[in-house]
Structure 1
Amino acid sequence: MIRSVIRGTGSALPKDCVSNDELAARVDTSDEWIRERTGITQRYIAGEGETTGTLATAAARAALDDAGLTIADIDLIVLATATPDNTFPATATQVQSRLGGAGFPAFDVAAVCSGFLYALTTADAMLRTGMAKRAIVIGAETFSRILDWEDRTTCVLFGDGAGAMVIEAQDVTEDGPGIIASRLHAEGEHCEMLYVDGGPSTTGTVGHVRMKGREVFRHAVVNLAGVLGEVLAEAGCEASDIDWVVPHQANLRILDATARKLGLPMERVVVTVDQHANTSAASVPLAFDVAKKDGRIQPGDLVMLEAMGGGFTWGASLLRV
């Protein structure tokens, strides 16, 4: 069977690391308040000259190096972001150009925190149907540019960064590597619970992130547990078969509640929210790269990726490394 197999991963972070204490010096909050409610201790904030595109390019280049490939080996780029460099063209096209590529399709996907799952599933479908052979799938964000720094309930939650995977279509056996099963969902009726209050067609401005945290938490735990069950059922697996869960890094409480619903110990959940905060579409590939590079995720491991974001959108993918 044809599956999309991970050849390499990479990530990139801005230079400026901002601790909770540093944030508390300019926002009405405290290290204790942030840690207790979110588990976050620090985040990275993009500075001058650092954009979603530059971070995405750095992560993609690192993934290519990890795969032992060059841009000449790639024929597709899918980039997930809610904070593109420009309204258009797609930031993916700028990444393509900066890497020295041309001619093949490169486009953005907008599904906020679930964006990387949407991008990965899209690229996987294109690889399995023969539309491409190798793809770079990227999640990249500069959420700091759309935060209201007077709103302590949201501005403390987010950070900037990028993560990338190089995936390749391979003919494998049933127990071989690659993406095994994926499921995506959306419910637009809940958009007012997590959204940005601006846009080109409405206000003509970028706007700021607005969120009803308690309602988002409740939906996240229920929706994520549901989609994880769907993916496991499609793959014919049990939760106990999973070696690692790499979740969207939104809030330590959500990660813990989701793990408990699956009956999995937190020791098998990759947690980077304490170091990176919520990097939206970048959080899943960024966390995956960290766990792969530090040796937790090993070849042959069964790994579940999951995320939920504004829209609401949510999804999950089960893969073998």
Structure 2
Amino acid sequence: MTSDARNPRACIRGTGRALPAAQENAAPSDAPPADGAPSEASAGRERRRAAAGETTSDLAARAARAALDAAGLGPRDLGMIILATSSGDAPMPATAVYVQQKLGAELIPSFDLSASLTGFLYGLSVANQFVTAGTLRHVLVIGADLLSRRVDPRDRAAAALFGDGAGAVVVGPAAGDGRGILSVSLRADGKKADVLQVPGGGSAEPLTQERLADRRHALRVNHAELRCAVEERLGGQALAALVAAGLTPADLDWVIPHHADAHLAGLLAEHLGCPRQRVLGALDGGNAAGASAGSVAMALDEGLRDGRIQPGQRVLLCALGGGLTWGSAVVRV
């Protein structure tokens, strides 16, 4: 799943992000203990929490408007909306159609994509294919999650890692100046599906009073296995994306991992031989780090808007989440 890195045909035209107004400590001091504990790197971090009545589509639409404004486009310029989320407004229909409605977009294809924390990169790959093939001109890709409503409050480690937020990009034709999506590399391992999951609420486990009491509808995380997967998989996948783009780690200007855990983000930087100050998200204290499918796009938008990421620079985007799914993309902004 790669573009021609020497002459990319699709690029990111604009970015945007949205955070809930409320902010609170991710792991209340009076929360009951549970398996796992927040690492020292993530303990005490504040994560954004959506207000009562605020939905995933609300945040997604706000991020989308910001991305469209940055691209100098309007909703009627879009050919498709892709929303990566694991916490949509409802099981049916797709939350993307609510975003379409709130934006006032045309009757364009609008659908959800479920790949957990890696969802935004999967969506970016799909958009890249449509634009590169010339099938569509502009595709909106959004990563948005309200995982605070899925986290079991007894799992303090998960509560410290996951928050709410949305990030969006508009993918369109490249200008021929070398800027664009240079490569996307994706993987999945269904044998590890139980490492990060919400077991109840689907066809395998329809919700009953007993399952609700057992909190089968809440997020369940095997923290030890998840950390091992990040350490084993993400660095190698990032290098694969760089090779596909014809680059080395020394060619990178920035690395943006999804991780809310600064220790894991630091390990990735070490694996790549990248200075820690070039890693955005978890290592710079940004709010984007815990927003699941929204994290990578949010950190990219933050870096572009505050001037740290400059036009023409090369950025590595990477994530690992439930599935297990993981992947990386290299873009020249």
Q: TM-score w.r.t. structure 1 length?
A: 0.93
| One-letter amino acid matched to 1:245 | V
CA contact (8 A) 1:117 1:316 kept: yes
CA drift at 1:43: 0.5
Residue aligning to 1:215: 225
Which of 80, 97, 116 is residue 112 of structure 1 equivalent to?
Answer: 116
| One-letter amino acid matched to 2:330 | L
CA drift at 1:250: 3.0
Residue aligning to 2:10: 4
Which of 294, 311, 314 is residue 302 of structure 1 equivalent to?
Answer: 314
CA contact (8 A) 1:191 1:311 kept: yes
Residue aligning to 1:269: 279
Q: C-alpha root-mean-square deviation of aligned residues, in Å?
A: 1.7
Residue aligning to 1:155: 159
Moved >6 Å (runs of 4+): none
Task: Please give the residue correspondences for 1:64-83 in structure 2 after superposition, counting only pairs within 5 Å.
Answer: 64-83=68-87
CA drift at 1:272: 4.3
Which of 51, 62, 67 is residue 63 of structure 1 equivalent to?
Answer: 67
Q: 1:128 to 1:54 in 2, by over 3 A?
A: same
| Equivalent position SS for 2:105 | coil
Asked if 1:146 is matched to 2:150, the reply is yes
- Structure 1, unaligned stretches of length 5 or more? none
The range that moved more, 146-155 or 123-132, is: 146-155
Task: Please give the residue correspondences for 1:1-321 in structure 2 after superposition, counting only pairs within 5 Å.
Answer: 1=7, 3-19=9-25, 23-28=27-32, 34=38, 36-38=40-42, 41-173=45-177, 176-205=178-207, 207-272=217-282, 274-276=285-287, 277-321=289-333
* Structure 1 residues 237-294: Cα deviation after superposition (integer angstroms, max 9, x where no partner): 1100000011112311110001101111111111247443521100000111111111
Between the aligned partners of 2:135 and 2:110, the Cα distance in structure 1 is 13
CA contact (8 A) 2:142 2:169 kept: yes
| Equivalent position SS for 2:231 | helix
CA contact (8 A) 1:42 1:275 kept: no
| Equivalent position SS for 2:126 | helix
Q: 1:237 to 1:2 in 2, by over 3 A?
A: closer
Q: 1:39 to 1:133 in 2, by over 3 A?
A: farther
Between the aligned partners of 1:227 and 1:184, the Cα distance in structure 2 is 8
User: Size of the alignment, in residue pairs?
Assistant: 314
| One-letter amino acid matched to 1:6 | I
Between the aligned partners of 1:100 and 1:56, the Cα distance in structure 2 is 14
CA drift at 1:200: 2.4
CA contact (8 A) 2:64 2:167 kept: yes
* Structure 1 residues 43-68: Cα deviation after superposition (integer angstroms, max 9, x where no partner): 01111221111000000011111112
Between the aligned partners of 2:273 and 2:237, the Cα distance in structure 1 is 15
| Equivalent position SS for 1:101 | coil
- Structure 2, unaligned stretches of length 5 or more? 1-6, 208-215
| One-letter amino acid matched to 2:11 | V
| One-letter amino acid matched to 2:15 | T
Identity, in percent, stands at 40
| One-letter amino acid matched to 2:201 | G
Between the aligned partners of 1:275 and 1:50, the Cα distance in structure 2 is 22
| Equivalent position SS for 1:138 | strand
CA contact (8 A) 1:40 1:157 kept: no
CA drift at 1:203: 2.3
Q: 1:106 to 1:40 in 2, by over 3 A?
A: farther
CA contact (8 A) 1:77 1:107 kept: yes
| One-letter amino acid matched to 1:270 | L
| Equivalent position SS for 1:14 | coil
| One-letter amino acid matched to 1:87 | P
CA contact (8 A) 1:249 1:279 kept: no
CA contact (8 A) 1:272 1:287 kept: no
